[in-house]
Amino acid sequence: MVNTAEDARDAVAACHYPPMGVRGVGSALARSARWNRVPDYLTRAGESLTLMVQIESAQAVQNVEAIVSTEGVDGIFIGPSDLAASMGVIGQQDHPDVVAAVEKSIAAGKAAGKYVGVNAFAEAAAKRYIELGAHYVGVGADVSLLARGTEALAAKFRPTAAGPTGTPTSY
């Protein structure tokens, strides 16, 4: 996550090879270079780079206009859970102050012509953020979706008349 434009500049530098940045020149180990088999990879890598920085704190929201204006930042991804925690309302992604901060960040990203992403696991929030112009909205987490699917499948085979009683805590 980034909190300031300086953090964003550091992220840009970390992603680019010299002279644009400070990324280590270990292309023989880089999967994106196909382990040193892509001709001119080191000089062309920046052409295919997309840098999304995370807006996940109240400080980042205060600085979001400067962050999205940072050269080399292609977009932002807003994390309402960590944002809520940093705002003192942990676990309350739907708190009005958190929603306002998310909406402010979406607007700043859009105004700067940047890509905007956000997690929104509640259907109403996801629809709202889409209406506001978020380019992509995470509507489910892979581990949660896998767990809920596993629970649903296991429930089909759970014995109802025999065995231990009560709700299982895991499968």
The reported pLDDT for the residue numbered 32 is 82
The 10s digit of each residue's pLDDT in 45-80 is 888 899 999 999 999 999 999 999 999 999 999 999
Q: What are phi and psi of 117, to 5 degrees?
A: -125, 155
* Contact (CB, 8 A) for 89 and 65: no
The reported pLDDT for the residue numbered 102 is 99
Residue 91: domain span: 5-155
The reported pLDDT for the residue numbered 168 is 58
Q: Can you list the residues of the chain whose pLDDT is less than 50? A: 171
pTM of the model: 0.85
Query: Does residue 169 lie within any of the structural domains?
Result: no
Query: Does residue 50 lie within any of the structural domains?
Result: yes
Query: Does residue 168 lie within any of the structural domains?
Result: no
Query: Does residue 68 lie within any of the structural domains?
Result: yes
- Which CATH number belongs to the domain containing residue 37 in this structure? 3.20.20.60
The reported pLDDT for the residue numbered 60 is 99
What's the one-letter identity of residue 164?
P
Query: Does residue 23 lie within any of the structural domains?
Result: yes
Query: Does residue 160 lie within any of the structural domains?
Result: no
Domain count, the chain: 1
Q: Give the CA distances from residue 159 to residues 93, 130, 156, 162, in Å, rounded to whole numbers and listed in that order.
A: 37, 42, 9, 6
